[in-house]
Amino acid sequence: MKKWWILGIVAVVVTLVVVNMVKSGGKAVEVEKAQVVRKDLTEAISASGTLTPKSKVDVSANAMGRITGLFVAEGDTVHEGDVLLEIDPTEYASAVHSYEAAVQTMEADLRLSEANADKAGMDYERAESLHDSGLSSDEQLQAANTALSVNEAGVAASHARLRQARANLDKAKHDLSKVTITAPMTGVVTRLNVEAGENAVMGTLNVAGTVLLQIADLSTMEAEVDVDETEVVRVALGQHVDVSVDAFPDTTFAGIVTEIGNSPIYTSTGQNRQAVDFKVTITLVDRVVGVRPGLSAKADIRVASSTDALTVPIGCVTIREWPHRERTKNRRPRRNRTADDDSTGVEREDKEGVFVIEEGVVRFAPVTLGITGEDDFEIVTGVEEGWTIVTGPFRSLRDLQHGDEVAVSDDGQEKEE
């Protein structure tokens, strides 16, 4: 009796399992759907960086000394030729006065040398006349000629000394002019590194701290962004760019790629790994009111576009084995099988594709992808306009197989594209 009781329980359990398998095998998978539509697509590469003026000048001192006058503040607008600051001119003015006196002395020496030369010339003419009359010897004529030559050489030397004195005076005046620093261009003082009373150091390229201030033309700005090495090969001069600035979240500025760097930028990413980027310069076409150099910016570089392209949502593209395997009744094909497992000997490979819904059953359709838009893929081959495809949810799309029955969920009605 007990034996029959146990056999009865086992039979009931087996029956329940079989019924449950049958039910689960025929249960439709809930999915969301959309239609294949045509639209204009633009593919963009995103990169981050900072804004910098297209034209800027670092102003350094060409003379050393204490700053006695500072006539601008950071943020001031200046025009070319405006006086920015002045360095103590006392030492340089003294040098000018000294060389002016030297020039006057050399001019007096020149006049004296010229007078002596004139006298020596007249003496030679008189000696020559006496010599021709037999009233003077050859030695006397030679002595007069020598005196004339010496005085003429003295005139030449005085001229040379005067030129040297004048050159020294010109240099002293030039040095004096350097103590007054004027604006080399019209723009805004974007950086001021000194205060009145500090000592100005002559500008040297390899010495930090020699830049007194910076003037920039903020009417034309550039975005300098770092683009990954895998994407920079698609960037070209003249490509259009949409630039967004964190400080102006509701505005997008138009720009154009004007420079692509050739030197790599290495950035450590940890564990001895390095990211390789390249600097891309984008000139903004639109004027940015209230801009400041150094503001964070994001650039979307349009590297490709397609008009009236056949498109599907990005999330609906998945990968499946193709060609698909024939299904047995109420049984899904086994995954991760190789050609050796298949008695047909058909060689299969993973393909990108979408699931097309036809009368409540899905069919996997391999596709060839084109450019990638913000939310959609361009489909080059594999589907036609108007086809209904599965777009989600991910948990269903992940396990969906060719030939599965599907039902569109209430919140997964066809999306408007």
Q: Which pair of tokens denotes residue 311? A: 């498109």
Of 176-180, 293-297, 343-347, 400-404, which range is least confident?
A: 343-347
- Rounded (10°) angle between helices 138-178 and 90-132: 160
pLDDT value at residue 306: 92
pLDDT value at residue 138: 85
Write the DSSP assignment of 301-351 as a string of letters. EEEEEEEEEEEEEGGG-EEEEESPPPPPTT-PPPSS--GGG-TT----EEE
Q: Which pair of tokens denotes residue 108? A: 């007096």
Q: Given pLDDT bands bounded at 50, 70 and 90, which one contains residue 415?
A: very low
Q: Given pLDDT bands bounded at 50, 70 and 90, which one contains residue 343?
A: low
- Give per-residue pLDDT as tens, 276-319: 999 999 999 988 888 899 999 999 999 999 999 999 999 999 99
Q: Which residue has the higher pLDDT, 106 or 13?
A: 106
Q: State the distance between the two ends of the chain, measured CA to CA, in whole angstroms.
A: 68
pLDDT at 335 over 70: no
- Would you put residue 308 in left (φ > 0), alpha (ψ -120 to 50) or beta? left
pLDDT at 221 over 80: yes
Q: Which of 42, 41, 45 is nearest to 231 (CA)?
A: 45
pLDDT at 416 over 60: no
- Give per-residue pLDDT as tens, 365-400: 999 999 998 899 999 999 999 999 999 898 889 889
Residue type, 308: D
Q: Given pLDDT bands bounded at 50, 70 and 90, which one contains residue 237?
A: very high
What does the alpha-carbon distance between residue 237 and residue 257 come to, in Å, rounded to a whole number? 5
What does the alpha-carbon distance between residue 222 and residue 307 come to, in Å, rounded to a whole number? 29
Match 């500090």 to its residue by tokens: 198
Under 8 Å between Cβ of 64 and 89: no
pLDDT value at residue 134: 82
pLDDT value at residue 51: 95
- Give per-residue pLDDT as tens, 10-42: 444 444 444 444 444 557 889 999 999 999 999
Parallel, antiparallel or unpaired: strands 29-35 and 406-408: parallel
Q: Which of 62, 11, 45 is nearest to 257 (CA)?
A: 45
Parallel, antiparallel or unpaired: strands 273-284 and 211-228: antiparallel
| Mean pLDDT computed over every residue of the chain | 85
Q: Which of 83, 94, 95, 92 is nearest to 65 (CA)?
A: 92
Classify residue 202 by its DSSP letter.
B
pLDDT value at residue 207: 57
Q: Given pLDDT bands bounded at 50, 70 and 90, which one contains residue 183?
A: very high
